[in-house]
Amino acid sequence: MTSNKLFFVTKPSSGSRTSFAFGTGVVTLIVLCLPIWIAAAAGGPRPLQIYFVDVEGGQSTLFVAPGGQSLLIDTGWAGNNSRDAGRIVAAAKSAGISRIDYVLLTHYHADHSGGVPELAAKIPIGAFIDHGPNREQSTATEQVFEDYEKVLADKGIQRITAKPGDVLPITGFHAVVVSADGVVLDGPLAGAGATNPACNTPEKLPADPSENQRSLGTVITYKKLRILDLGDLTWDKEMKLMCPVNKIGRVDIFVVSHHGSATSDSDALVDAISARVAIMDNGAIKGAYPDTWLRVRNAPGLEDLWQLHTAEQQAGDPQVHNVPDQFIANLSGPDTGNYIKVLAWSDGHFDVVNSRTGTTKQYPVR
Ligand SMILES: [Zn+2]
């Protein structure tokens, strides 16, 4: 199905990172907030806001409920003068919050949890949610976990370890855990459980021994909108989650797993969830693997794929795939740190905003 293809331009393309990331461009912020302000001025409901922060090939996704409750999934990298923590705090300010209620760490790789100490130094955090202890024996990952434990101890922040089937304590929207520490849901979520035909011819990939397969995955529901985020969950765990029956059901928005890497986003996953919109948190030279890009883009029911970066051709890639520029937050060239934002409205329609262009695409109720 093809949705409404109308884009309305709310801001000329300028591409200045500073104006977006830190809000010094008042005009920019006004136009990006326009749909919310119009609704508020009309006495209408406010949306759930979801910021897909650009952390250059890591993950950091901020959910802010209409009542201000917040959940951050992953913190991006450490370093670069606290670049990723700075971008997250800028998104939080733009969303109107000055603390983050819950920070969920999908797993302890540096592109997801490396930024914990820098973020905790910049903004108050209510509690952390994780899959349990690190079990990967690599110096880098052990260091990330050690730094995380130090933040918990030094700041006295509550730690919640979640398992499949747990409902997160956040209010304002519903979040249920579907994978954690290498275990997936026992049975289907409500409304799911159909036999998955894409399981019949699955390409087999070997079990992944890394932290990726322990990713803490969630299904987040706000009104009629369902969003799936599995972190970097890898192929063999996707099979356990999706075969022989689809335990997730259909979703509206799919946060593409593992940045679109070769070892995730199997047909059994992407075909069965039948997402309307997929958002890929790839970097210029991270993720967006050509075969994976094709599986995601060609999944049945997908209306649009959005990318955080233009994918550059990497050594060994026979070709590279990209969506049209209006669906990409950061084009090739200097690092501009633009985000993608989703506004989920109570009637079930949602908007996707590209902060680089200031354009919004509306997705009517299905
Ligand atoms: Zn990753």
pLDDT (tens digit, 9 = 90+) per residue, 27-38?
A: 444 455 555 545
- The CA 177 to ligand 1 mean position distance, Å, reads 18
Binned at pLDDT 50, 70 and 90, residue 316 comes out as: confident
| CA max distance for the chain | 55
Q: Tell me the CA–centroid distance for residue 112 and ligand 1, in Å.
A: 6
CA of residue 340 to ligand 1 center, whole Å? 18
Contact status, residue 145 vs residue 214, Cβ threshold 8 Å: no
Q: How remote is the CA of residue 40 from the centroid of ligand 1, in Å?
A: 37
CA of 30 to the centre of ligand 1 (A): 33
Q: Say what the pLDDT of residue 34 is.
A: 53
pLDDT tens readout for residues 218-251: 999 999 999 999 999 999 999 999 999 999 999 9
Query: Nearest to residue 52, comparing CAs of 100, 5, 77, 87?
Result: 87
Calculate how far, in angstroms, residue 258's C-alpha sits from the geometric centre of ligand 1: 5
342-355: average pLDDT: 97
In a domain, 14, yes or no: yes
The alpha carbon of residue 276 and the mean position of all alpha carbons in its chain are separated, in whole angstroms, by 15
Task: Report CA(357)–ligand 1 centroid distance (Å).
Answer: 26
> Total structural domains in the chain?
1
Contact (Cβ atoms closer than 8 angstroms) between residue 77 and residue 283: no
Q: Does a structural domain hold residue 201?
A: yes
Please give the sequence-ordered ranges of beta strands (E in DSSP) within the chain, or none if there are none: 7-9, 48-52, 61-64, 70-73, 100-104, 125-130, 158-161, 174-180, 183-184, 217-222, 225-229, 253-255, 277-280, 304-309, 328-330, 340-344, 350-354, 359-363
Q: How far is the CA of 364 from the centre of ligand 1 (A)?
A: 31
- Whole-number Å distance, alpha carbon 113 to ligand 1 midpoint, is 9
Decide: 258 and 287 in contact? Cβ < 8 Å: yes
pLDDT tens digits, residue range 25-64? 444 444 555 555 455 444 458 999 999 999 999 999 999 9
In a domain, 148, yes or no: yes
CATH number of 109's domain: 3.60.15.10
Ligand 1 center to residue 139 CA distance, Å?
17
With respect to residue 1, please indicate whether it lies within any of the assigned structural domains: no
Contact of 205 with 212, CB cutoff 8 Å: no
Q: Is residue 220 domain-resident?
A: yes
Residue 34 lies in a domain: yes
The pairing of strands 350-354 and 340-344 is antiparallel
pTM: 0.89
Residue 354 lies in domain: 7-363
Assigned domain for 249 exists:
yes
Return d(Cα 139, Cα 338) in angstroms, integer.
Answer: 31
Report the sign of the C-alpha dihedral through residues 328, 334, 337, 338, in that order. negative
Query: Is 2 contained in some domain?
Result: no
Q: How far apart are the CA of 211 and the centre of ligand 1, in A?
A: 10
Tell me, in angstroms, the distance from the centre of ligand 1 to residue 142's CA. 16
Distance 354 CA to ligand 1 centre (A): 22
